[in-house]
Structure 1
Amino acid sequence: MNNYHTHTKRCQHAEGSVMDYALQAKKEKSSVLGMSDHTPLPDGRWPHMRMALSELEEYIAEIEAAAEALPELRILKGVECEWSPEYIGFYQEELLGKHSFDYLIGAVHWFPHHGEWLYIGDADTPPRLVSYARHMAKTIESGLFTFIAHPDGFGLGYNQWDENARACSLDIIASAEACALPLEINGYGLRKKKVTSPTGALRRPYPLDEFWQLASGTKIQAVCNSDAHKPSDLFSSVDQARALAEEFSVPVIDPFER
Protein backbone atom coordinates (compact mmCIF):
# COMPACT_ATOMS: atom_id res chain seq x y z
CA MET A 1 0.00 0.00 0.00
CA ASN A 2 1.28 3.46 -0.93
CA ASN A 3 0.22 6.97 0.05
CA TYR A 4 0.73 10.13 -1.98
CA HIS A 5 -1.01 12.71 0.22
CA THR A 6 1.23 13.38 3.21
CA HIS A 7 1.76 16.52 5.31
CA THR A 8 4.55 17.55 7.67
CA LYS A 9 4.68 20.02 10.53
CA ARG A 10 5.67 22.73 8.04
CA CYS A 11 2.03 23.26 7.04
CA GLN A 12 1.28 24.35 10.64
CA HIS A 13 -1.60 21.92 11.13
CA ALA A 14 0.20 18.56 10.97
CA GLU A 15 2.89 16.67 12.86
CA GLY A 16 6.17 15.00 11.97
CA SER A 17 9.09 15.32 9.60
CA VAL A 18 9.72 13.65 6.26
CA MET A 19 11.96 11.12 7.99
CA ASP A 20 9.21 10.33 10.51
CA TYR A 21 6.88 9.43 7.65
CA ALA A 22 9.59 7.56 5.77
CA LEU A 23 10.33 5.38 8.79
CA GLN A 24 6.61 4.71 9.21
CA ALA A 25 6.36 3.74 5.52
CA LYS A 26 9.30 1.38 5.92
CA LYS A 27 7.74 -0.11 9.07
CA GLU A 28 4.52 -0.79 7.17
CA LYS A 29 6.44 -2.28 4.23
CA SER A 30 5.38 0.35 1.71
CA SER A 31 7.45 0.68 -1.46
CA VAL A 32 6.59 4.29 -2.34
CA LEU A 33 5.94 7.37 -0.23
CA GLY A 34 4.67 10.61 -1.73
CA MET A 35 5.37 13.74 0.32
CA SER A 36 2.92 16.51 -0.51
CA ASP A 37 2.86 19.29 2.03
CA HIS A 38 0.92 22.46 1.22
CA THR A 39 2.97 24.40 -1.28
CA PRO A 40 4.36 27.80 -0.42
CA LEU A 41 3.00 30.54 -2.66
CA PRO A 42 5.07 33.37 -4.15
CA ASP A 43 2.65 36.03 -2.88
CA GLY A 44 2.43 34.53 0.63
CA ARG A 45 -1.32 33.98 0.40
CA TRP A 46 -3.05 31.90 3.11
CA PRO A 47 0.11 31.68 5.27
CA HIS A 48 -1.60 30.00 8.22
CA MET A 49 -1.93 26.66 6.43
CA ARG A 50 1.29 26.26 4.45
CA MET A 51 5.04 26.53 4.62
CA ALA A 52 6.66 29.84 3.83
CA LEU A 53 8.55 30.25 0.56
CA SER A 54 11.75 30.50 2.60
CA GLU A 55 11.16 26.92 3.81
CA LEU A 56 10.91 25.34 0.35
CA GLU A 57 14.63 24.56 0.00
CA GLU A 58 14.64 22.93 3.46
CA TYR A 59 11.58 20.83 2.54
CA ILE A 60 13.31 19.63 -0.63
CA ALA A 61 16.54 18.89 1.24
CA GLU A 62 14.65 16.92 3.88
CA ILE A 63 13.00 14.75 1.21
CA GLU A 64 16.32 14.14 -0.53
CA ALA A 65 18.06 13.29 2.76
CA ALA A 66 15.36 10.75 3.67
CA ALA A 67 15.58 9.19 0.22
CA GLU A 68 19.35 8.84 0.58
CA ALA A 69 19.05 7.35 4.08
CA LEU A 70 16.39 4.82 3.00
CA PRO A 71 17.26 3.80 -0.59
CA GLU A 72 14.88 0.84 -0.40
CA LEU A 73 11.95 3.30 -0.19
CA ARG A 74 11.05 5.39 -3.22
CA ILE A 75 10.22 8.86 -1.87
CA LEU A 76 8.47 11.21 -4.28
CA LYS A 77 8.70 14.98 -4.02
CA GLY A 78 5.33 16.66 -4.27
CA VAL A 79 3.15 19.46 -2.96
CA GLU A 80 -0.57 20.15 -2.65
CA CYS A 81 -1.55 23.24 -4.61
CA GLU A 82 -4.29 25.82 -4.97
CA TRP A 83 -4.95 26.91 -8.53
CA SER A 84 -4.97 30.52 -9.65
CA PRO A 85 -3.67 31.87 -12.97
CA GLU A 86 -0.90 33.92 -11.36
CA TYR A 87 0.68 30.73 -9.96
CA ILE A 88 1.12 28.93 -13.28
CA GLY A 89 4.66 30.22 -13.78
CA PHE A 90 5.69 29.29 -10.25
CA TYR A 91 4.29 25.79 -10.57
CA GLN A 92 5.71 25.13 -14.03
CA GLU A 93 9.04 26.93 -13.92
CA GLU A 94 10.02 26.70 -10.25
CA LEU A 95 8.46 23.52 -8.86
CA LEU A 96 8.25 21.25 -11.89
CA GLY A 97 11.17 22.91 -13.68
CA LYS A 98 13.97 24.20 -11.46
CA HIS A 99 13.24 21.94 -8.48
CA SER A 100 12.14 18.85 -10.46
CA PHE A 101 9.12 17.99 -8.35
CA ASP A 102 7.67 14.59 -9.16
CA TYR A 103 4.07 15.71 -8.91
CA LEU A 104 1.63 18.40 -7.91
CA ILE A 105 -1.75 17.67 -6.31
CA GLY A 106 -4.61 19.98 -7.24
CA ALA A 107 -6.92 20.97 -4.40
CA VAL A 108 -9.56 23.59 -3.69
CA HIS A 109 -9.46 24.89 -0.14
CA TRP A 110 -10.25 28.43 -1.29
CA PHE A 111 -12.40 29.57 -4.21
CA PRO A 112 -13.24 32.97 -5.71
CA HIS A 113 -16.79 34.24 -5.28
CA HIS A 114 -17.95 37.73 -6.25
CA GLY A 115 -14.50 39.24 -5.97
CA GLU A 116 -13.33 37.58 -2.74
CA TRP A 117 -11.74 34.28 -1.82
CA LEU A 118 -13.86 32.02 0.39
CA TYR A 119 -12.83 28.97 2.39
CA ILE A 120 -14.26 25.63 1.28
CA GLY A 121 -16.29 25.44 4.49
CA ASP A 122 -18.13 28.57 3.37
CA ALA A 123 -19.53 26.87 0.27
CA ASP A 124 -22.83 26.80 2.13
CA THR A 125 -25.29 28.34 -0.36
CA PRO A 126 -26.20 27.35 -3.93
CA PRO A 127 -24.46 30.41 -5.51
CA ARG A 128 -21.28 29.69 -3.57
CA LEU A 129 -21.48 26.04 -4.56
CA VAL A 130 -21.61 27.12 -8.21
CA SER A 131 -18.45 29.21 -7.69
CA TYR A 132 -16.73 26.26 -6.05
CA ALA A 133 -17.61 23.96 -8.96
CA ARG A 134 -16.38 26.50 -11.52
CA HIS A 135 -13.08 26.92 -9.72
CA MET A 136 -12.67 23.18 -9.37
CA ALA A 137 -13.24 22.78 -13.11
CA LYS A 138 -10.51 25.36 -13.83
CA THR A 139 -8.18 23.54 -11.44
CA ILE A 140 -8.81 20.26 -13.27
CA GLU A 141 -8.50 21.81 -16.72
CA SER A 142 -5.19 23.53 -15.92
CA GLY A 143 -3.28 20.36 -16.81
CA LEU A 144 -0.83 20.90 -13.94
CA PHE A 145 -1.91 18.19 -11.55
CA THR A 146 -1.48 14.42 -11.19
CA PHE A 147 -4.79 14.05 -9.35
CA ILE A 148 -7.36 16.15 -7.52
CA ALA A 149 -7.59 15.93 -3.73
CA HIS A 150 -10.96 15.64 -1.99
CA PRO A 151 -13.07 16.85 -4.96
CA ASP A 152 -16.22 16.42 -2.85
CA GLY A 153 -14.83 18.53 -0.02
CA PHE A 154 -17.63 21.02 -0.56
CA GLY A 155 -19.54 18.80 1.89
CA LEU A 156 -17.68 20.64 4.66
CA GLY A 157 -19.91 23.64 4.02
CA TYR A 158 -22.88 22.44 1.99
CA ASN A 159 -24.43 20.00 4.42
CA GLN A 160 -27.31 18.60 2.39
CA TRP A 161 -27.61 16.50 -0.73
CA ASP A 162 -30.00 18.21 -3.14
CA GLU A 163 -30.17 19.25 -6.77
CA ASN A 164 -27.46 21.86 -6.20
CA ALA A 165 -24.99 19.37 -4.68
CA ARG A 166 -25.81 16.96 -7.48
CA ALA A 167 -25.22 19.58 -10.19
CA CYS A 168 -21.93 20.61 -8.57
CA SER A 169 -20.78 16.99 -8.44
CA LEU A 170 -21.78 16.28 -12.04
CA ASP A 171 -19.82 19.33 -13.24
CA ILE A 172 -16.68 18.23 -11.38
CA ILE A 173 -16.99 14.64 -12.59
CA ALA A 174 -17.54 15.77 -16.20
CA SER A 175 -14.44 17.98 -16.11
CA ALA A 176 -12.29 15.22 -14.64
CA GLU A 177 -13.62 12.67 -17.11
CA ALA A 178 -12.94 14.98 -20.06
CA CYS A 179 -9.38 15.58 -18.84
CA ALA A 180 -8.79 11.94 -17.82
CA LEU A 181 -7.68 13.18 -14.41
CA PRO A 182 -8.04 10.87 -11.38
CA LEU A 183 -10.03 12.04 -8.36
CA GLU A 184 -9.09 11.24 -4.79
CA ILE A 185 -11.17 9.38 -2.23
CA ASN A 186 -9.78 11.12 0.82
CA GLY A 187 -9.13 9.21 4.03
CA TYR A 188 -8.84 12.32 6.18
CA GLY A 189 -12.50 13.07 5.53
CA LEU A 190 -13.34 9.59 6.77
CA ARG A 191 -11.60 10.43 10.05
CA LYS A 192 -13.09 13.90 10.52
CA LYS A 193 -15.89 14.74 12.91
CA LYS A 194 -19.28 14.11 11.34
CA VAL A 195 -21.55 16.99 10.40
CA THR A 196 -25.31 17.33 10.91
CA SER A 197 -27.59 17.46 7.89
CA PRO A 198 -30.80 19.57 7.86
CA THR A 199 -32.74 16.41 8.76
CA GLY A 200 -30.64 15.99 11.89
CA ALA A 201 -28.79 12.96 10.55
CA LEU A 202 -25.04 12.69 11.06
CA ARG A 203 -22.84 12.16 8.05
CA ARG A 204 -19.18 12.59 7.19
CA PRO A 205 -18.22 15.89 5.52
CA TYR A 206 -16.48 13.98 2.70
CA PRO A 207 -16.06 11.69 0.87
CA LEU A 208 -19.72 11.77 -0.11
CA ASP A 209 -21.37 8.50 -1.09
CA GLU A 210 -23.68 10.36 -3.46
CA PHE A 211 -20.73 11.94 -5.29
CA TRP A 212 -19.05 8.61 -5.89
CA GLN A 213 -22.32 6.98 -6.87
CA LEU A 214 -22.54 9.58 -9.64
CA ALA A 215 -18.99 8.70 -10.69
CA SER A 216 -20.02 5.07 -11.04
CA GLY A 217 -20.36 4.09 -14.67
CA THR A 218 -18.19 6.98 -15.90
CA LYS A 219 -14.52 6.82 -16.90
CA ILE A 220 -13.47 8.34 -13.59
CA GLN A 221 -10.56 6.65 -11.82
CA ALA A 222 -9.90 7.05 -8.11
CA VAL A 223 -6.75 7.49 -6.08
CA CYS A 224 -7.12 6.45 -2.43
CA ASN A 225 -4.97 8.34 0.07
CA SER A 226 -4.95 8.83 3.82
CA ASP A 227 -4.18 12.58 3.63
CA ALA A 228 -1.92 11.94 6.62
CA HIS A 229 -1.36 14.74 9.12
CA LYS A 230 0.70 12.63 11.52
CA PRO A 231 3.00 9.65 10.87
CA SER A 232 0.75 7.16 12.65
CA ASP A 233 -2.02 7.99 10.15
CA LEU A 234 0.11 7.31 7.08
CA PHE A 235 -2.24 4.57 5.88
CA SER A 236 -5.27 5.34 8.04
CA SER A 237 -8.64 4.95 6.31
CA VAL A 238 -7.11 3.89 2.99
CA ASP A 239 -8.79 0.50 3.16
CA GLN A 240 -12.09 2.22 3.92
CA ALA A 241 -11.59 4.55 0.93
CA ARG A 242 -10.89 1.55 -1.29
CA ALA A 243 -14.03 -0.14 0.01
CA LEU A 244 -16.06 2.92 -0.96
CA ALA A 245 -14.59 2.81 -4.48
CA GLU A 246 -15.44 -0.88 -4.73
CA GLU A 247 -18.98 -0.25 -3.51
CA PHE A 248 -19.60 2.14 -6.40
CA SER A 249 -17.49 0.27 -8.97
CA VAL A 250 -15.00 3.11 -9.39
CA PRO A 251 -11.60 1.71 -10.45
CA VAL A 252 -8.71 2.55 -8.12
CA ILE A 253 -5.30 3.29 -9.65
CA ASP A 254 -1.82 3.94 -8.33
CA PRO A 255 -0.65 7.00 -10.32
CA PHE A 256 3.02 6.13 -9.78
CA GLU A 257 3.00 2.39 -10.18
CA ARG A 258 5.96 1.49 -12.34
Structure 2
Amino acid sequence: MKRYFDFDMNDYKDRKCNFHSHTVRCQHAVGEEREYVEEAIKEGFEVIGFSDHSPYLFKNGYVSRIRMTMSQLEDYVKTIEALKKEYREDITIFLALEMEYFPGIFEPTIEEIRQYPMDYLLLAQHFFYENESFISVRQNWTDEMHLKSYVDLLTNALDTGYFNMVAHPDIVNFTGDEALYTKYMKKLADRLKDEQIPIEINVNGFRELCNYPDRRFVKLGVENGNDFIVGVDAHDPNEYHDLASYKGCIKMAEDFGGKVFWK
Protein backbone atom coordinates (compact mmCIF):
# COMPACT_ATOMS: atom_id res chain seq x y z
CA MET A 1 0.00 0.00 0.00
CA LYS A 2 1.23 3.46 -0.86
CA ARG A 3 1.67 5.67 2.21
CA TYR A 4 1.16 9.41 2.32
CA PHE A 5 4.52 9.96 4.06
CA ASP A 6 7.43 8.54 2.08
CA PHE A 7 9.26 7.00 5.03
CA ASP A 8 10.35 3.44 5.75
CA MET A 9 11.98 2.59 9.06
CA ASN A 10 13.45 -0.51 7.42
CA ASP A 11 15.93 1.79 5.68
CA TYR A 12 17.61 2.25 9.07
CA LYS A 13 18.05 -1.35 10.18
CA ASP A 14 21.81 -0.99 10.47
CA ARG A 15 21.69 2.11 12.72
CA LYS A 16 20.73 2.52 16.36
CA CYS A 17 17.34 4.24 16.24
CA ASN A 18 14.43 5.36 18.36
CA PHE A 19 11.36 6.66 16.56
CA HIS A 20 9.28 7.26 19.71
CA SER A 21 10.09 10.36 21.77
CA HIS A 22 8.00 13.14 23.32
CA THR A 23 8.16 16.80 24.39
CA VAL A 24 6.66 18.86 27.22
CA ARG A 25 3.80 19.89 24.93
CA CYS A 26 1.98 16.64 25.67
CA GLN A 27 1.68 17.78 29.31
CA HIS A 28 3.11 14.56 30.74
CA ALA A 29 6.75 14.75 29.65
CA VAL A 30 9.69 16.80 30.96
CA GLY A 31 12.88 18.32 29.55
CA GLU A 32 13.90 20.42 26.59
CA GLU A 33 14.00 18.95 23.09
CA ARG A 34 17.73 19.66 22.95
CA GLU A 35 18.25 17.50 26.04
CA TYR A 36 16.55 14.55 24.36
CA VAL A 37 18.87 14.92 21.38
CA GLU A 38 22.02 15.22 23.45
CA GLU A 39 21.20 12.33 25.78
CA ALA A 40 20.37 10.13 22.78
CA ILE A 41 23.74 10.99 21.24
CA LYS A 42 25.53 10.13 24.49
CA GLU A 43 23.86 6.71 24.45
CA GLY A 44 24.98 6.01 20.89
CA PHE A 45 21.73 6.60 19.04
CA GLU A 46 22.28 7.55 15.42
CA VAL A 47 18.63 8.29 14.57
CA ILE A 48 15.78 9.66 16.69
CA GLY A 49 12.25 10.64 15.84
CA PHE A 50 10.27 13.16 17.84
CA SER A 51 6.72 11.81 17.80
CA ASP A 52 4.87 13.83 20.39
CA HIS A 53 1.15 13.30 20.98
CA SER A 54 -0.73 14.86 18.11
CA PRO A 55 -3.32 17.58 18.59
CA TYR A 56 -6.84 16.59 17.66
CA LEU A 57 -9.85 18.60 16.52
CA PHE A 58 -12.28 17.30 19.11
CA LYS A 59 -15.92 18.28 19.12
CA ASN A 60 -17.59 20.88 21.34
CA GLY A 61 -14.35 22.64 22.24
CA TYR A 62 -12.90 19.73 24.24
CA VAL A 63 -9.23 20.27 25.15
CA SER A 64 -7.11 17.22 25.93
CA ARG A 65 -4.78 17.15 28.93
CA ILE A 66 -2.47 14.55 27.37
CA ARG A 67 -1.83 16.02 23.91
CA MET A 68 -0.46 19.23 22.49
CA THR A 69 -2.99 21.76 21.21
CA MET A 70 -3.32 22.66 17.56
CA SER A 71 -1.96 26.12 18.41
CA GLN A 72 1.30 24.50 19.59
CA LEU A 73 1.86 22.51 16.43
CA GLU A 74 3.67 25.24 14.48
CA ASP A 75 6.18 25.83 17.29
CA TYR A 76 6.74 22.06 17.61
CA VAL A 77 7.53 21.84 13.91
CA LYS A 78 9.85 24.86 13.95
CA THR A 79 11.72 23.58 17.01
CA ILE A 80 12.38 20.11 15.62
CA GLU A 81 13.24 21.39 12.15
CA ALA A 82 15.82 23.73 13.72
CA LEU A 83 17.35 20.87 15.71
CA LYS A 84 17.56 18.77 12.54
CA LYS A 85 19.84 21.39 11.02
CA GLU A 86 21.85 22.13 14.14
CA TYR A 87 22.68 18.49 14.87
CA ARG A 88 22.86 17.19 11.29
CA GLU A 89 26.53 16.22 11.70
CA ASP A 90 25.86 14.29 14.91
CA ILE A 91 22.52 12.53 14.58
CA THR A 92 19.60 12.15 12.17
CA ILE A 93 16.41 13.68 13.55
CA PHE A 94 12.90 13.11 12.22
CA LEU A 95 9.72 15.10 12.81
CA ALA A 96 6.59 13.07 13.50
CA LEU A 97 3.44 12.80 15.57
CA GLU A 98 2.03 9.96 17.65
CA MET A 99 -1.61 9.83 16.69
CA GLU A 100 -4.71 7.82 17.49
CA TYR A 101 -7.36 6.88 14.99
CA PHE A 102 -10.75 8.31 15.91
CA PRO A 103 -13.06 7.87 12.88
CA GLY A 104 -15.17 10.89 12.14
CA ILE A 105 -12.77 13.42 13.60
CA PHE A 106 -9.59 11.95 12.13
CA GLU A 107 -10.35 13.37 8.69
CA PRO A 108 -10.49 17.09 9.59
CA THR A 109 -7.53 16.66 11.94
CA ILE A 110 -5.31 15.07 9.31
CA GLU A 111 -6.15 17.91 6.92
CA GLU A 112 -4.61 20.32 9.42
CA ILE A 113 -1.57 18.13 10.01
CA ARG A 114 -0.91 17.73 6.29
CA GLN A 115 -0.01 21.40 6.15
CA TYR A 116 3.20 20.65 8.02
CA PRO A 117 6.34 18.76 6.86
CA MET A 118 5.93 15.57 8.89
CA ASP A 119 8.32 12.73 8.14
CA TYR A 120 5.99 10.03 9.44
CA LEU A 121 3.01 9.32 11.68
CA LEU A 122 3.17 6.84 14.54
CA LEU A 123 -0.14 5.07 15.23
CA ALA A 124 -0.89 4.53 18.93
CA GLN A 125 -4.39 3.62 20.07
CA HIS A 126 -4.75 4.38 23.78
CA PHE A 127 -8.51 4.87 23.74
CA PHE A 128 -11.78 3.95 22.17
CA TYR A 129 -13.64 7.17 21.38
CA GLU A 130 -17.36 6.54 21.74
CA ASN A 131 -20.16 9.12 22.04
CA GLU A 132 -17.59 11.88 22.61
CA SER A 133 -16.04 10.08 25.57
CA PHE A 134 -12.77 8.21 26.01
CA ILE A 135 -12.58 4.59 27.12
CA SER A 136 -9.11 3.22 27.83
CA VAL A 137 -8.03 0.16 25.86
CA ARG A 138 -6.12 -0.81 29.02
CA GLN A 139 -9.23 -1.62 31.00
CA ASN A 140 -9.59 -5.25 31.96
CA TRP A 141 -11.42 -6.34 28.81
CA THR A 142 -12.78 -9.89 28.64
CA ASP A 143 -15.33 -9.55 25.84
CA GLU A 144 -14.73 -10.26 22.16
CA MET A 145 -16.32 -7.01 21.00
CA HIS A 146 -13.71 -4.68 22.49
CA LEU A 147 -10.78 -6.83 21.41
CA LYS A 148 -12.14 -6.95 17.86
CA SER A 149 -12.83 -3.21 17.95
CA TYR A 150 -9.23 -2.51 18.95
CA VAL A 151 -7.78 -4.59 16.13
CA ASP A 152 -10.28 -3.12 13.67
CA LEU A 153 -9.28 0.43 14.66
CA LEU A 154 -5.61 -0.26 13.96
CA THR A 155 -6.40 -2.06 10.72
CA ASN A 156 -8.66 0.74 9.51
CA ALA A 157 -6.06 3.32 10.49
CA LEU A 158 -3.42 1.52 8.42
CA ASP A 159 -5.91 1.42 5.53
CA THR A 160 -5.77 5.24 5.38
CA GLY A 161 -2.14 5.12 4.24
CA TYR A 162 -1.09 7.79 6.73
CA PHE A 163 0.71 5.62 9.29
CA ASN A 164 4.26 4.34 8.85
CA MET A 165 4.60 2.50 12.15
CA VAL A 166 2.65 1.41 15.23
CA ALA A 167 3.52 2.10 18.87
CA HIS A 168 2.86 -0.57 21.49
CA PRO A 169 0.40 -2.59 19.33
CA ASP A 170 -0.11 -4.90 22.33
CA ILE A 171 -1.37 -2.14 24.66
CA VAL A 172 -4.91 -3.55 24.69
CA ASN A 173 -5.45 -5.30 28.02
CA PHE A 174 -7.45 -8.39 27.13
CA THR A 175 -7.78 -10.99 29.91
CA GLY A 176 -10.52 -13.12 28.40
CA ASP A 177 -10.37 -16.31 26.35
CA GLU A 178 -6.82 -16.92 25.15
CA ALA A 179 -8.13 -18.38 21.91
CA LEU A 180 -9.85 -15.06 21.17
CA TYR A 181 -6.67 -13.14 21.96
CA THR A 182 -4.72 -15.30 19.55
CA LYS A 183 -7.40 -15.06 16.84
CA TYR A 184 -7.54 -11.26 16.72
CA MET A 185 -3.96 -10.38 17.61
CA LYS A 186 -2.75 -12.81 14.94
CA LYS A 187 -4.71 -10.71 12.43
CA LEU A 188 -2.88 -7.63 13.69
CA ALA A 189 0.50 -9.37 13.52
CA ASP A 190 -0.29 -10.49 9.97
CA ARG A 191 -1.16 -6.95 8.92
CA LEU A 192 2.02 -5.51 10.43
CA LYS A 193 4.06 -8.16 8.66
CA ASP A 194 2.33 -7.43 5.35
CA GLU A 195 3.07 -3.71 5.80
CA GLN A 196 6.68 -4.49 6.79
CA ILE A 197 6.14 -2.66 10.07
CA PRO A 198 8.17 -4.20 12.91
CA ILE A 199 6.42 -4.83 16.21
CA GLU A 200 7.45 -2.26 18.80
CA ILE A 201 8.50 -3.57 22.21
CA ASN A 202 7.91 -0.55 24.41
CA VAL A 203 10.55 0.43 26.99
CA ASN A 204 8.24 2.76 28.90
CA GLY A 205 5.67 0.02 29.41
CA PHE A 206 8.39 -2.45 30.42
CA ARG A 207 9.88 -0.06 32.99
CA GLU A 208 6.49 0.83 34.51
CA LEU A 209 5.40 -2.83 34.65
CA CYS A 210 2.37 -2.11 32.48
CA ASN A 211 0.27 -4.73 30.75
CA TYR A 212 2.48 -4.10 27.70
CA PRO A 213 4.78 -5.23 26.25
CA ASP A 214 2.71 -8.40 26.37
CA ARG A 215 4.77 -11.58 26.20
CA ARG A 216 1.84 -13.33 24.50
CA PHE A 217 1.99 -10.94 21.57
CA VAL A 218 5.77 -11.03 21.37
CA LYS A 219 5.67 -14.84 21.25
CA LEU A 220 2.89 -14.75 18.67
CA GLY A 221 4.91 -12.30 16.57
CA VAL A 222 8.01 -14.47 16.66
CA GLU A 223 6.02 -17.52 15.59
CA ASN A 224 4.41 -15.40 12.86
CA GLY A 225 7.75 -14.26 11.46
CA ASN A 226 7.41 -10.60 12.45
CA ASP A 227 10.42 -8.38 13.04
CA PHE A 228 10.79 -6.28 16.20
CA ILE A 229 12.05 -2.88 17.26
CA VAL A 230 12.53 -1.34 20.67
CA GLY A 231 10.68 1.94 21.23
CA VAL A 232 12.10 4.07 24.04
CA ASP A 233 8.86 6.09 24.27
CA ALA A 234 10.92 8.76 26.03
CA HIS A 235 9.06 11.24 28.24
CA ASP A 236 12.27 12.33 29.98
CA PRO A 237 15.72 12.79 28.37
CA ASN A 238 17.29 10.54 31.02
CA GLU A 239 15.16 7.63 29.85
CA TYR A 240 17.60 7.21 26.97
CA HIS A 241 19.99 5.86 29.60
CA ASP A 242 17.65 3.23 31.07
CA LEU A 243 19.71 0.37 29.67
CA ALA A 244 18.20 -2.22 32.00
CA SER A 245 14.72 -1.71 30.55
CA TYR A 246 16.06 -1.35 27.00
CA LYS A 247 17.94 -4.64 27.26
CA GLY A 248 14.95 -6.24 28.95
CA CYS A 249 12.85 -5.48 25.88
CA ILE A 250 15.47 -7.01 23.61
CA LYS A 251 15.61 -10.10 25.80
CA MET A 252 11.83 -10.47 25.68
CA ALA A 253 12.00 -10.97 21.92
CA GLU A 254 15.13 -13.10 22.04
CA ASP A 255 13.60 -15.38 24.68
CA PHE A 256 11.24 -16.60 21.97
CA GLY A 257 13.83 -16.58 19.19
CA GLY A 258 12.90 -13.17 17.79
CA LYS A 259 15.15 -10.62 16.13
CA VAL A 260 15.34 -6.99 17.26
CA PHE A 261 16.60 -4.20 15.01
CA TRP A 262 19.06 -1.60 16.24
CA LYS A 263 20.51 -3.19 19.37
Query: If the length of structure 1 is used for normalisation, what is the TM-score?
Result: 0.82
| Alpha-carbon distance between aligned partners in 2 of 1:179 and 1:136, rounded to the nearest angstrom | 12
Task: Indicate if the aligned counterparts of 1:169 and 1:211 stay in contact, CA closer than 8 A.
Answer: yes
Amino acid at match of 1:64: E
SS of 1:216's equivalent in the other structure is: helix
1:63: Cα distance to partner? 0.8
List runs of 5+ in structure 2 lacking aligned partners: 1-15
Sequence identity of aligned pairs in percent?
Answer: 30
Q: Are 1:109 and 2:126 matched, yes or no?
A: yes
Q: 1:20 pairs with 21, 30, 35, which one?
A: 35
SS of 1:249's equivalent in the other structure is: coil
SS of 1:47's equivalent in the other structure is: coil
Q: 2:78 pairs with 39, 61, 64, which one?
A: 61
Task: Indicate if the aligned counterparts of 1:112 and 1:131 stay in contact, CA closer than 8 A.
Answer: no
Q: Who is 1:6 aligned against?
A: 21
Q: 1:75 pairs with 93, 96, 99, which one?
A: 93
List runs of 5+ in structure 1 lacking aligned partners: 194-203
1:248: Cα distance to partner? 2.3
Q: Are 1:242 and 2:250 matched, yes or no?
A: yes
Q: Are 1:177 and 2:177 matched, yes or no?
A: no
SS of 1:104's equivalent in the other structure is: strand
Amino acid at match of 1:246: E
Task: Indicate if the aligned counterparts of 1:123 and 1:132 stay in contact, CA closer than 8 A.
Answer: no
Deviations 1:181-239 (A, max 9, x none): 3221111110114xxxxxxxxxx511111111111232422221111111100253222
Larger RCO: 1 or 2 (CA < 8 Å, sep 6+): 2
Deviations 1:92-132 (A, max 9, x none): x543x432211110111112568964221235231322222
Q: 2:147 pairs with 102, 124, 129, which one?
A: 129
Q: Who is 2:69 aligned against?
A: 52
| Alpha-carbon distance between aligned partners in 2 of 1:16 and 1:161, rounded to the nearest angstrom | 42
1:172: Cα distance to partner? 1.5
Task: Indicate if the aligned counterparts of 1:216 and 1:249 stay in contact, CA closer than 8 A.
Answer: yes
Q: Are 1:38 and 2:38 matched, yes or no?
A: no
Say what the alpha-carbon RMSD is for the aligned residues: 2.4
Q: Are 1:214 and 2:233 matched, yes or no?
A: no
Amino acid at match of 1:179: E
| Alpha-carbon distance between aligned partners in 1 of 2:135 and 2:63, rounded to the nearest angstrom | 11
| Alpha-carbon distance between aligned partners in 2 of 1:110 and 1:76, rounded to the nearest angstrom | 26
SS of 1:84's equivalent in the other structure is: coil
Q: 1:251 pairs with 245, 256, 259, which one?
A: 259
1:152: Cα distance to partner? 0.7
Q: Who is 1:138 aligned against?
A: 156
Deviations 1:7-30 (A, max 9, x none): 111111111121110111222232
| Alpha-carbon distance between aligned partners in 2 of 1:47 and 1:189, rounded to the nearest angstrom | 22
| Alpha-carbon distance between aligned partners in 2 of 1:47 and 1:56, rounded to the nearest angstrom | 14
Task: Indicate if the aligned counterparts of 2:22 and 2:51 stay in contact, CA closer than 8 A.
Answer: yes
